[in-house]
């Protein structure tokens, strides 16, 4: 079946622009995670949804970052007024479980470059 | 101190060699541990879960040492296709999230 998909795969933004990154989780997966992966680092947790509820946003680096999942399926991560330090790969992962959600399937990521 | 630490490598090994990586974690209450593999410019993919009794899958063996708070991954008979970054991940039950290390780079050469 289809895996997690993300779009766009690559995004170049000028500093100060707003960007929106989309994640389509595996159908039926209730839990959805966003991670940020800087070059040479592991994925760092940003935020977590269970269905449409955002249960944890403790990893969002600033109030310029905003995520939503209004209907409990597709999710969008929005970054306002992008800065150079936002350049990274943004990974989305989904899990079929509500708890014990360590069995996660990752999408291919969106590589964001802020110039 | 980072929650999950790994030697970044790279580990350069010849085909057929045995190689082992360790990963240390800081939270003694952690219960669940995983190894992910990440190819260049690709997403992480779950390689193995790490059980308290150890876990073996073909050429790959994962071990947990709770007393010293580390997990290990052993790869026997390395193949060129094993070249990748190996990410260690620890499950934070209270936060319902995975915490990843920075990864260890493995390069297998012919």
pLDDT in tens, chain A (115 residues): 589 999 999 999 999 999 999 999 999 999 999 999 999 999 999 999 999 999 999 999 999 999 999 999 999 999 999 999 999 999 999 998 877 777 899 999 999 999 9
List pLDDT tens digits, range B72-83: 999 999 999 999
Inter-chain residue contact A108 with B91, CB threshold 8 Å: no
- Determine the average pLDDT of the residues in B6-22: 96
Residue pair A46/A34 in contact (Cβ under 8 Å)? The answer is: yes
The answer to whether B17 contacts chain A (CB < 8 Å) is: no
pLDDT at position B51 is 76
Give the confidence band of B31 by pLDDT, cuts at 50, 70, 90.
confident
Most confident range, picked from A82-91, A92-101, B23-32, B43-52 = A82-91
Inform me whether the C-beta atom of residue B8 falls under 8 Å from chain A C-beta atoms: yes
A14 exposure class (CB count in 10 Å sphere: 0-12, 13-18, 19+): exposed
For residue A103, give how far its alpha carbon lies from the nearest alpha carbon of chain B (Å).
Answer: 8
- Mean pLDDT (chain B) is 93
B43/A56 CB distance under 8 A: no
Q: What is the pLDDT of residue B5?
A: 96
Give B98's contacts in chain A (Cβ within 8 Å): 33, 43, 45, 102, 104
Better-predicted residue by pLDDT, B93 or A30:
A30
pLDDT for A51 equals: 95
The rounded Cα B57 to chain-centroid distance in angstroms is: 13
Residue A16: which region, alpha, beta or left (left: phi > 0; alpha: psi -120 to 50)? left
Q: Summarize the confidence of residues B75-104 as an average pLDDT.
A: 93
Average pLDDT over residues B89-99: 86
Contact criterion met (CB < 8 Å) for B96 and A40: no
Q: In the prediction, which pLDDT does A1 show?
A: 57
Helix (H) or strand (E) run with residue A2 in it = none
Would you call B42 and A45 a contact, using CB atoms and an 8 Å cutoff? Answer: no
Nearest to A42 among B41, B97, B103 (CB): B103
Give the minimum alpha-carbon distance from A94 to chain B in angstroms, rounded to a whole number.
Answer: 12
């Amino acid at each position: 079946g289809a895996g997690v998909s993300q779009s766009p795969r690559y995004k170049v933004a000028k500093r100060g622009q707003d960007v929106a990154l989309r994640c389509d989780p595996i159908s039926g997966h209730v839990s959805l995670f966003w991670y940020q992966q800087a070059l040479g680092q592991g994925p760092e947790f940003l935020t977590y949804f269970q269905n449409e509820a955002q249960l944890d946003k403790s990893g969002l680096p600033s109030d310029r970052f905003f995520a939503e999942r209004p209907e409990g399926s597709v999710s969008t991560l929005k970054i306002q007024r992008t800065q150079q330090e936002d350049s990274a790969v943004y990974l989305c992962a989904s899990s079929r479980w509500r708890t014990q959600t360590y069995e996660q399937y990752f999408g291919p990521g969106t590589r964001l470059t802020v110039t | 101190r980072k929650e999950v630490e790994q030697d970044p490598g790279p580990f350069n090994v010849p085909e057929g060699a045995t190689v082992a990586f360790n990963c240390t974690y800081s939270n003694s209450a952690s219960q669940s541990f995983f190894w992910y593999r990440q190819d260049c410019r690709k997403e992480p993919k779950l390689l193995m879960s790490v059980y308290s009794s150890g876990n073996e899958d073909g050429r790959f063996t994962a071990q947990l040492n709770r007393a010293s708070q580390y997990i290990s991954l052993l790869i026997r008979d390395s193949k060129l296709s094993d070249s990748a970054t190996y990410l260690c991940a620890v499950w934070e039950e209270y936060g319902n999230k995975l915490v990843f290390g920075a990864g260890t780079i493995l390069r297998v050469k012919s």
